[in-house]
Amino acid sequence: MSHRSATTEPNEPADLQPIADPASIAPTMRAAVARRYGNADVVAIENVPTPQAGKGQVIIRVEASSLNALDWHFLTGTPYFLRLIAGLRRPKRTIHGADVAGTVVAVGAAVTSLHIGDRAFGESAGGGCAPYLATKAEHLVPIPEVVSFQAAGATPVAGITALQGLRSHGGTRPGDHVLINGAAGGVGTFAVQIAKALGAEVTAVCSTRNVDMVERLGADHVVDYTTDDFVPGGARFDVMLDNVGNRSAADCVSVLRPAGRYVAVSGPKENRWLGPIGHLVRTRFAFRRTDATFHQFTASSTPEDLMFLGELLASGQVVPEVQRTVGLDGVADALAEIGSGHARAKIVVVPT
């Protein structure tokens, strides 16, 4: 059992809370719950049973979670094919917040990687919008001592997506010129900083209100898509990380160097059953006639990538851009903002 001292969180007094005695945890807890598919107005605050640790699981006292477009898709059950895994008639996942950072307060059988009192973060199958969450221990890694719960809780889904898109699929190398379309959202604000950490020159695309933010995050060049267009500008890129999917394949090919890599993180929500799948298939096909390559992926959290992100956080090379922090009462509004398609950076949830 390892208890951290107050000196581990010098910048964040709110993190300095005593570790709970598992036996003292109340049998019920307040949570932001959505029992049916719908928009943000189906989210309600309820008292629900506090989870217990099954085999291979730990109970985390959630100090910070954050919301992602992923949570919006699970909330609305769209595109509809998602319901094949999320629940056909009603959602299996009733508490949103896949991102989690907190303190281990109980461990189930067969858990050896984490102990009561450990600070840990990672991507869960939802549940961060509640004070306690049960998740597989293998989904979590320790939070470096100098990293706050808020920073760790803002990172997993968006940070993993940006990292895997740029490094694993885009093959970003030092000196590459990277274009990030959709640089102001959760994935984009991590991508700008991770691309810089990988040694790239970064051109970021966002709207007027976010230009200053992405410059501050390290972008070398910014294209305000409300007044400018990156396609006819003449710049050529080694990697295009596309968090929006609003351009034609011909446009994307035209801005890439001959061996350039187009990485599709997202696509237009053109079909309520299949979402962007048709667009992605057409784009993949169009790339077959070019020297550039098409890469589409679904991010999948690994302990190695989480630990790599933890190192970037600890070194200060990546500082999650947190737009605001909300309590449980603010979860519905935060989800609605993400559903608008114009959320700015990260919204952190402190589930009290």
Ligand X SMILES: NC(=O)c1ccc[n+]([C@@H]2O[C@H](COP(=O)([O-])OP(=O)(O)OC[C@H]3O[C@@H](n4cnc5c(N)ncnc54)[C@H](OP(=O)(O)O)[C@@H]3O)[C@@H](O)[C@H]2O)c1
- Kindly list the residues in this chain that would bind ligand X in the complex (CB under 6 A): 68-70, 157-158, 161, 181-182, 184-188, 205-207, 210, 225, 243-244, 246, 265-266, 297-299, 338, 341-344
Q: Which residues are CB-neighbours of 304 under 8 A, at least 6 positions away?
A: none
Taking the complex as a whole, the smallest distance from the CB of residue 330 to ligand X amounts, in Å, to 16
Q: Which residue has the tokens 């710049």?
A: 235
Q: Which residue's C-beta sits nearest to ligand X?
A: 185
Angle at the Cα of 157 from the Cα atoms of 342 and 214, rounded to 5 degrees: 45
Shortest Cβ 320–ligand X spacing (Å): 12
Q: Which residue number, 157 or 312, has a Cβ lying nearer to ligand X? A: 157
Q: How far is the CB of 261 from ligand X (least distance, A)?
A: 15
Question: Rounded distance, CA 143 to CA 12, Å?
Answer: 14
Least Å distance, CB 331 to ligand X, is: 15
Give all strands (DSSP E) within 175-281, no chain letters: 177-181, 201-206, 221-224, 237-242, 256-264
Smallest CA-to-CA distance from 176 within 224, 81, 240, 269 is with 240
Q: Is 182 or 310 the residue whose CB approaches ligand X more closely?
A: 182
Q: Which is nearer to ligand X, 104 or 338 (CB)?
A: 338
Q: Say if strands 119-123 and 99-107 run parallel, antiparallel, or are unpaired.
A: antiparallel
Contact 342, 317 (CB under 8 A): no
Cβ neighbours of residue 242 closer than 8 Å, sequence gap 6 or more: 181, 182, 252, 262, 263, 264, 265, 266
Question: Among residues 10 and 341, whose Cβ is nearest to ligand X?
Answer: 341
In the complex with ligand X, the residue whose CB is nearer, 196 or 344, is 344
User: Quick one: 134 or 204, whose CB is closer to ligand X?
Assistant: 204
List the beta bridge partners of residue 201.
177
* Cβ 322 to ligand X shortest distance, Å: 12
Q: How far is the CB of 276 from ligand X (least distance, A)?
A: 8
Distance (Å, whole) CA 344 – CA 323: 7
